[in-house]
Amino acid sequence: MTTTGAAPGRASRRIASFEVPALGLGCMNLSHAYGVAPSAEDAERLLLTALEEGVTLFDTAALYGFGANEELVGRVLAGHRDRIVLASKCGMTGVGGRRVINGRPETLRRTVDEALARLRTDVIDLYYLHRLDPRVPVEESVGAMAGLVGAGKVRALGLSEVSAATLRRAHAVHPIAALQNEYSLWSRNPERGTLQAARELGVALVAFSPLARGFLTAAPPDLAVLPADDIRRNMPRFDERHYPANLALRGELEKIADEAGLTLPQLALGWVLSRGPHVVAVPGTRSVDHLRENLSVLDTEIPAGVLDAAGRVLNATTVHGARYNEATLTEIDTERCGRVG
């Protein structure tokens, strides 16, 4: 596709009836996945600063911290409910200390009430099916979620980590407002079908991990000090076979950013947002400074040639390793893209 240069700007992008800035906030790492979570005070400060800086889309899930992240978001932002678009996810939760995918209608009807209580609200603006349950046709899961809309518990529906074919099947049951898939310079799966399908159907493509799970931030993860429970320890792109080669590619991107007067996060986020006016990104961070750096891309003009150069350096062909290990990939419905192993 043709790259569009210039700044994304503070102009709104649309998710269903909601107008949001092109960058929202992914809240996962305030409670989940990346080692030791920040203190409650630091997490609260991050959320409130995001609100002050103009973020309106806050993205959480029942899975994150096995409910703890929804509780955090609810506690901190319930008093500002009329200022935000609140997104959460169902269909993948913590049960007995383990992650469980369950898209059965009765489960989704029960867990939405649990989510509403944790979030301290009477309605969730955007509710995603977090993962497709292979035992349950997507039509059944989305049909149950459509019932939540009818009951006034949810305003709009989304899907996460699914293919273009699944998106179309779901959309035929009930309008899908947003598709949240991983999308970044090194994760190009949406380009195999969902980016175009979303555009055709009027669906927002919400990019999670647009900074490549911290790889394209100011300081890439140091494998020597990653906590044992950090999810990147099980991702091939961060293992000892592939990480050095990926770091070399990162060095080339840094040169492109430096020559253009950009930071690497600005370049990486600018590239994602240039993929289309229906693309919204939800980077996560635990740092107020990094939050502000990320948001600065909305006011940063980036020439199309710079974005194209970045895309040639790091892409599905040049990246080393798959985005997930094989066991996790079998749980995900998206089109595969990039190297394996």
N-term to C-term CA, the chain: 28
Buried b (16+ CB within 10 A) or exposed e, 100-135: ebbbeeebbbebbeebbebbbbebbbbbbbbbbbee
Q: Does the annotation count 324 as an active-site position? A: no
Closest C-alpha to 160, from 204, 205, 129, 201? 129
Task: Let me know if 83 is exposed, middle or buried by CB neighbors in 10 A (0-12, 13-18, 19+).
Answer: exposed
CA distance 271 to 329: 25
Residue 247 contacts residue 336 (beta carbons within 8 Å):
no
SS3 105: helix
Candidates 34, 64, 243, 324; catalytic one: 64
Q: Kindly tell me the number of DSSP H helices and DSSP E strands found in the chain.
A: 11, 12
Cα torsion angle, 136, 139, 140, 142, sign: positive
CB 291 within 8 A of CB 298: no
22 in Cβ contact with 298 (< 8 Å): yes
Residue 189: what are its φ and ψ, rounded to 5°? -50, -40
User: If we measure between CA atoms, which residue out of 267, 252, 269 comes closest to residue 305?
Assistant: 267
Distance between CA atoms of residues 116 and 101, nearest Å:
19
Cβ(130)–Cβ(90) under 8 Å? yes
Q: Annotated active-site positions, please? A: 64
